[in-house]
């Protein structure tokens, strides 16, 4: 596995691959990799001839009060996992490599999309995501790029950006990998103390209650949200940021939930903010 720190190394390597007619899959990550990330790498491995994983904690997607400095990192552990999953090249640039001194250009979607859901409390987050992902697309020029359904708004935002900027890349959405008790795998789970870790399973229980509500044939978004919120409120360590039913593409709120709509939640467990979601009408 090649470990590349510079854009030039990636460009030289991908140019060689392209000359040989090989397809390239890209998996963008912020490192501290787990089985969720690994599932994206496996999917890329199965569908592309060469697999690049970027491992870069992107400062522009963190707010001023957020956990940039404390964000967990373990490049050695990441490389071991990536090697085991057949990654061909890991790109781990410095901040200066991705954002040269004086960098002032950002990619920003001028619609309601990045302002819904997480955008309400993280106003510049998706601008940071779009900016870094477009840089990665320019650098690696992948045929396909792999993103987790766990970050559903990120996926919707990336799809819109790719459409709008006419990127020549196919976006592939991958299902959420979970722990035995349903908690979605996340690098941020490392912050949870044991009691909080136990409490965090309430997100899954809340989503199960939501699914049950929809399965019973009801569709009212308001009632769905209150059913899910009730479950969350019973957990003393949980503080709800939002529970919402929205259109799967625009992420605008819906009154009646139909198949394909997104039911998303953000919940604080102690100091840790966790997000999760399910698509109405899809099996868990
Ligand atoms: P991150 O390192 O948290 O920025 O995540 C990198 C990519 O992995 C994103 O596309 C995430 O949606 C995806 N991802 C994170 N956690 C999971 C998970 N539990 N299951 C599937 N994909 C995930």
For 157-216, the pLDDT digits (tens) are 999 999 999 999 999 999 999 999 999 999 999 999 999 999 999 999 999 999 999 999
- Alpha-carbon distances, residue 101 vs 57, 63, 104, 141, 192 (angstroms): 17, 20, 9, 24, 35
- 148 CA distance to ligand 1 middle (Å): 5
- 179 CA distance to ligand 1 middle (Å): 14
Kindly report, residue by residue over 244-267, the tens digit of the pLDDT: 999 999 999 999 999 999 999 999
Rg, the chain, Cα only: 19
Which residues are marked as active site? 37
- Backbone phi, then psi, for 251, in 5-degree steps? 65, 15
Determine if ligand 1 sits within 6 Å of the CB of residue 211.
no
Q: For residue 253, what pLDDT is reported?
A: 98
Name the residue at shortest CA distance from atom 7 of ligand 1: 29
Determine if ligand 1 sits within 6 Å of the CB of residue 277.
no
| Integer Cα distance of 113 and 173 in angstroms | 18
Q: For residue 78, what pLDDT is reported?
A: 98
- 211 CA distance to ligand 1 middle (Å): 23
284 pLDDT tier (thresholds 50, 70, 90): confident
Q: How many helices (H) and strands (E) would you count in the chain?
A: 9, 9
> How does strand 272-279 pair with strand 144-148?
unpaired
Q: Which residue has the tokens 């030289």?
A: 12
In this structure, the chain runs to a length of: 284
283 pLDDT tier (thresholds 50, 70, 90): confident
Name the residue at shortest CA distance from atom 18 of ligand 1: 36
Could you tell me how far CA 67 lies from the centroid of its own chain? 16
Nearest to 95 by CA among 7, 26, 25: 7
């Amino acid at each position: 596995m090649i470990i590349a720190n510079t854009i030039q190394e990636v460009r030289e390597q991908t140019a060689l691959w392209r000359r040989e007619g090989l397809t390239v899959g890209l998996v963008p990550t912020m490192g501290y990799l787990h089985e969720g990330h690994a599932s994206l790498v496996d999917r890329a491995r199965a569908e592309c001839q060469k697999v690049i994983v970027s491992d870069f904690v992107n400062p522009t997607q963190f707010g001023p009060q957020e956990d940039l400095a404390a964000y967990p990192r373990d490049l050695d552990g990441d490389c071991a996992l990536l090697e085991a999953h057949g990654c061909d090249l890991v790109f781990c640039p410095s901040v200066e490599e991705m954002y040269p001194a004086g960098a002032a250009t950002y990619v920003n979607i001028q619609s309601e999309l990045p302002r819904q859901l997480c955008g309400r409390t993280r106003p510049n987050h998706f601008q940071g995501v779009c900016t870094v992902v477009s840089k990665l697309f320019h650098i690696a020029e992948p045929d396909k790029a792999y993103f987790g359904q766990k970050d559903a708004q990120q996926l919707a935002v990336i799809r819109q950006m790719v459409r709008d900027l006419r990127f020549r890349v196919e976006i592939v959405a991958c299902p959420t990998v979970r722990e035995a008790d349903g908690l979605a795998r996340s690098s941020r789970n490392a912050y949870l103390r044991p009691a909080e870790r136990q409490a965090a399973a309430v997100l899954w229980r809340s989503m199960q209650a939501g699914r049950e509500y929809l399965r019973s044939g009801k569709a009212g978004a308001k009632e769905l949200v209150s059913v899910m919120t009730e479950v969350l409120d019973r957990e003393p360590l949980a503080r709800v940021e939002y529970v919402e039913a929205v259109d799967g593409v625009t992420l605008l709120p819906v009154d009646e939930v139909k198949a394909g709509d997104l039911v998303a939640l953000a919940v604080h467990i102690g100091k840790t903010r966790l997000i999760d979601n399910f698509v109405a009408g899809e099996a868990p």
